[in-house]
Structure 1
Amino acid sequence: MPNPLKYNKTFDELNEEEKKLLQINKKTIADFVEQSSSISDVNYATRNAHAKTYAVAKGIFRIEPDIPESLQPFFDKEKFDLTIRFSNAQLKIKNTKKDIPAYGFAVQIKDESGALLANYPLVNFPLFPVQSVSLFLKLFSSINRLYMKQWSSLFPMFIQMIKMLPSLLTADMLRNMLKLIRKRNDFILSFDYYSVGAYRLGDHMIKIKLSPSLVDKNTGRRQKIKDSLKNYLQKNDFTADVLIQICYDLKDQPINRLNVEWKNSPFIKIGEVQIAKNSLLDFRNCNTELLSFNPFESKIFFQPVGKIQKLRDDAYKVSVQTRRKINKLLHGKNS
């Protein structure tokens, strides 16, 4: 294999128009979170994405004993402690038996002293349909406003969605959408989960895939997703392989084209995520709901790479700060 391509901060840089649109987007995020309890009809402020929590659990990240020598400095212990949040991508919490199959598997990794090493918000779809930063910011701002019943944003949202169509029509996007449609009724723990964008691993840049082992896709077909997940994790151990791809060439492994899969970069197994049965936490506890899985809170050499990824930094910060402020006030009133 060729030498890995080195991280450069130019991968993350936004232009002036994108920076202005980001400021507007941040305001809509704060406004959404402030109104989120009424939007979702719950008694707390929710996240601005992946609002619905299915479960939160403790786990272990066990490192492969024979990982490549170049990766060993980043994984210098046999195992690391995990907190894992299972969620749905929708902005609004709906009390329905069947949710759209857009699932989150957010992983928080800590060392033996409890210090945060990395956050990885993984999802069950490997690609991202919007390539233009400006288009994404305009679209997301319009969606936020629409949830807040600002109906004037409806037409701008449709315009941005039409502009997004060409990036939905890549062979990789179409293949993965068809795959998701076929699997739409499958059990949440039977899906593979992906980092979508790239992350640093020191000077390297990687993508992450989590691939579950021995999970029956038909589990809990007649139950609500939350109930089927809770029942499974109370009675069964869960194991998933953790695999990475390394960026060697931007032509085959593009950083800022998120609607195509990386090619000519083999998956390398670096360890396993393990959840022992009956390791669930009370996700309704206020402190659990205040958890943040912001990947930019990670150590610098584990942080996200790319322009779309960079947007998440400010978005997460605004969402978390607003959510924590409101929920701490609510928690104080109820204590």
Structure 2
Amino acid sequence: MNEYIKYSYDLEEIPEHFDDYIAKINKDIVDYIRNTPELSNIKYHTRDAHANGYAALKAEVEILDNLPPELAQGIYAKPGKYEAVVRFSNGSSRVLPDKLSGNAQGFALKIFSIDGKKLAPGEEDSTNVDYNMINNPVFFCNTAEHYVFISKLFLKLTDFFEKGALGKLEFAALWVTENKKAFPNFEALKELGALKTFEKIPSINSFLYEFYSMGAVRHGDYVAKVRIAPTDPTKNAITDKEIDIESADWPYRKGIIKEIAKNDLTFELQVQLCKDLKKMPINDLTEEWPQELSPFQTVAKITIPKQEVPDDGNFEIMENLSFTPFRTLEENSPIGNLQRARQSAYVTSSTTRHDLNHKKRKEPSNLKEAFDPQFYKL
């Protein structure tokens, strides 16, 4: 019998001054987005992370039938098929050619027509559920307190790295001293080590990556992490598996558009249930949970059908859509110190961006609305 850890709010370890950290993070997000046209040399305001979208694609999600009780929780309690949309993106906070942006990427998934009250502020009645996933099993920050200084450095990452070795050294020194406000400490060093794992991500077609939730989520009565992984047929179907990031400005986008024009592609949406809080910590996002202790188990299938995508990857659709991990049921919400900081941060980012771009911030209720540019006009 598998003994899975039962969810309790006490596991989340929310600190006393949490709201103060959130206020600082949200202010920094607004200030940064105001300046994104100048920073990226473009004519519109971008997200503060995952600024460069590669493609928005039509999809379908099937929640599986006959799941065991520990898996059939929250969203996954009832089987069904749902329309969905996927946004692939680069993780950088600026719109730059791929060779200057690194290989960190995002898989944002929006599923339509999921009943139940949602946690995104002001969107309790939304019928949509979002997932914000990254192609690395660990993240480089553990607490809202640390994110206050880490986010400032991350947003200037490109500036430091353009200076070469000395710039990287300066960046590391500022990181471990919390922007010169503390002595080097173990936590900051561990977070910097997690950031370096992103440099090891290979240059492969975006459809071939595994994408992970940044941290832990509530899984009904339990605690879990989430993964989206390509199926074997999808891995075999991709013809150009490696991407030459020097070959063009945005070869990742070209690779996505080329492959989805040829085949239906399928993915597994999986959860990894927590069995040991020491080996599978909730508030240490730099730690990968061991799969030999608790393997990922499939709860849903994602199909991205063969489709023609314009050369810009459906640019206008990508920019108008917003994704937040708290547009979800309470039973499936992100949990823990840093994860809770995302509840208002994503809404702040999306609201600011839409206001500055003079676009209507409104959730589509189906694929037809999502891919209709008229839907987002004021």
Asked if Structure 1 and Structure 2 have the same fold, meaning a TM-score greater than 0.5 normalized by the shorter chain, the answer is yes
Partners of 2:157 and 2:97 in 1: CA distance: 20
User: In structure 2, what residue type is equivalent to 1:21?
Assistant: Y
Which digits, 9 at most, give the CA deviation of each residue in 1:179-220, with x for residues without a partner?
x62x52222211111113111222222111111123246255
Answering whether residue 189 of structure 2 is matched by residue 165 of structure 1, we say: yes
CA distance in 1, matches of 2:191, 2:35: 32
Q: 2:315 aligns with which of 284, 290, 308?
A: 284
Residue of structure 1 aligned with 2:297, choices 268, 271, 286: 268
**In structure 2, C-alpha distance between the alignment counterparts of 1:18 and 1:4, rounded to whole Å:** 29
Quickly say closer, same or farther: Cα 1:26–1:288, change in 2 above 3 A: same
CA distance in 1, matches of 2:257, 2:24: 39
Query: Take 1:25 and 1:65, find their aligned partners in 2: how far apart are those partners?
Result: 41
Q: CA deviation at 1:120?
A: 0.9
Match of 2:48 in 1: 48
Structure 1 residues 140 and 296: CA distance shift in structure 2, 3 A: same
Partner residue of 1:107? 109
2:121 is the alignment partner of 1:116? no
SS in 2 for 1:295: coil
1:143 Cα deviation after fit: 4.3
Deviations 1:133-182 (A, max 9, x none): 32222221344478899xxx98855633765223455xxx59x939x62x
Indicate yes or no: 2:207 matched with 1:189.
Answer: yes
Contact 1:193 1:210 in 2 (8 A): yes
SS at match of 1:61: strand
Q: Distance in 1 between matches of 2:71 and 2:328?
A: 17
The amino acid that maps onto 1:81 is E
Q: Distance in 1 between matches of 2:159 and 2:342?
A: 21
With over 3 angstroms needed to count, the CA separation of the structure-2 counterparts of 1:119 and 1:279, relative to structure 1, is farther
CA RMSD for the aligned pairs?
Answer: 3.3
Deviations 1:34-77 (A, max 9, x none): 11122112222100111110001111112333421443364323
In 2, the alpha carbon distance for the partners of 1:254 and 1:300 equals: 20
Which residue of the other structure, out of 94, 97, 101, is the alignment partner of 2:96? 94
Alignment check: 8 A CA contact 2:64 2:79 kept: no
Q: Indicate the SS of the match to 1:244.
A: strand
Distance 1:261 1:219 in 2: 25
Relative to structure 1, the CA distance from residue 52 to residue 304 in structure 2 (aligned partners, 3 Å threshold; closer, same or farther) is same
- Is 1:212 the counterpart of 2:239? The answer is no
**Are the equivalent residues in 2 in contact too, given 1:129–1:259 (CA < 8 A)?**
yes
1:30-49 aligned at under 5 Å gives the runs 30-49=30-49
Identity of aligned residues (%): 26
Equivalenced residues, count: 324
Mark the CA change 1:112 to 1:318 in structure 2 (over 3 Å): closer, same or farther.
closer
Contact 1:97 1:225 in 2 (8 A): no
Q: Which amino acid aligns with 1:325?
A: D
How far apart are the structure 1 equivalents of 2:36 and 2:8? 37
Q: Which residue of 2 aligns with 1:227?
A: 254
For 1:303, the equivalent position in structure 2 comes to 333
Structure 1 segment 241-252 matched on structure 2, within 5 A:
241-252=268-279
What amino acid sits opposite 1:196 in the alignment?
Answer: M
User: What amino acid does structure 1 have at the position aligned with 2:355?
Assistant: K
CA distance in 2, matches of 1:265, 1:90: 31
Residue 197 of structure 2 corresponds to residue 177 of structure 1: yes
- By how many angstroms is 1:125 displaced? 0.4
Would you say the 8 A contact 2:62–2:80 is kept in 1? yes
Structure 1 residue 134 corresponds to structure 2 residue 158: no
Aligned partner of residue 339 in structure 2, secondary structure: helix
Per the alignment, do residues 141 and 16 of structure 1 end up closer, same or farther by CA in structure 2, a change over 3 Å counting?
farther
Seen in structure 2, the aligned counterparts of structure 1 residues 8 and 112 have a Cα distance that, compared at 3 Å, is: closer
